[in-house]
Amino acid sequence: MITASFEDVIRISSNLPIFIKPEEPLIEVAFIVGVAKKTNAIVTDYSGKVLGEVSSYDLIQAAIKNRRDIWKALYSTKVSDVAHEVFEVEAGEPLQIYYDRIRNSKFSSALVFYNEKPLSLLTPLEIIPYLIKEGKLKNLRAEVIASEVKRVNPEITVLQAIEMMVNWWKRKLVIENKVITDRGIVEKGTFSIQMLNALAKDPGSVLGMKVKELPGIFMYPAFFDYEESAESVAEKVLRTECYAALSEDGSKIITPYDLAVKPFI
């Protein structure tokens, strides 16, 4: 059990949340990812009440449901229609609350408040620097926390990649020891500012593109040995753009969730 408070964690690594109004169109999420380099936004009403959270994953999930008219869906779907619950905590509360809450949840974000004002959006990524500083990962072997890789054919299309992410509930896929993410698809691929015009005119051709044809879509992971400490892997993961490390044999992956959540729930 970790005895720290949320404040202890965000004092080392905080994530200033971006806020979005419920009536904003889904396309705004693409702009937030592409311009602000954020993968999550908090939906609030005009009184400041938190209504939920939207992410790059929610964007691709909603778009795939309307694949025949994605352009219309991007502008007619409100972010409130796809937002999911984000739980709220006070900075002084114990971090253990976070682990208790996400144990049976698909989502792993918490909005941290201080004096009733939102201070930081906590995800597994923000917890890692605290765990490193406190030596919580030093005695864990990489093999124990690693997950199976979802390795896919290098010839897959954008549509197939999105379907795999949605159906498998995976935000990262591995293609020939390179990684594609839902954030990358939004920021550099199908929903990027550069591709929106083509998406409006001929969505089928965009979704039918091979993933490898999208410039800059591939990100390069770190690599780890099974006997390596989780702390060493964590330091590597933080230095990568995709926040991931692959085992040297390519069969396992370690992500922020594996490092900051899996050992403590």
Per-residue pLDDT 10s for the chain (265 aa) are 788 999 999 999 989 999 999 999 988 888 887 777 788 899 999 988 999 999 888 888 877 787 777 878 888 889 999 998 899 999 999 999 999 999 888 889 999 999 989 999 999 999 999 999 999 999 999 999 999 998 899 999 998 999 999 889 888 999 999 999 988 888 877 777 677 777 778 888 888 889 998 888 999 999 999 999 999 999 999 999 999 999 999 999 999 999 999 999 8
Note the pLDDT of residue 187: 81
Which CATH number is 6-133 given?
Answer: 3.10.580.10
pLDDT of amino acid 31: 82
Could you give the CA distance from residue 120 to residue 260 in angstroms, rounded to a whole number? Answer: 17
Superfamily of domain 142-264: CBS-domain (3.10.580.10)
Cβ–Cβ contacts within 10 Å for residue 43, how many? 23
Domain ranges of the chain: 6-133, 142-264
What pLDDT sits at residue 51?
94
What is residue 35's DSSP assignment? H
Amino acid identity for residue 229 in this structure: S
Give the pLDDT score at 246.
97
Report pLDDT for 185: 85
Q: Tell me the CA distances in angstroms from 164 to 93, 156, 167, one per residue in order.
A: 37, 10, 5
DSSP codes joined into one string, 136-198:
TTTT-BHHHH-EE--B--TT-BHHHHHHHHHHHT-SEEEETTEEEEHHHHHHHSTTSTTTHHH
What pLDDT score does 155 carry?
94
> Do 6-133 and 142-264 have matching folds?
yes
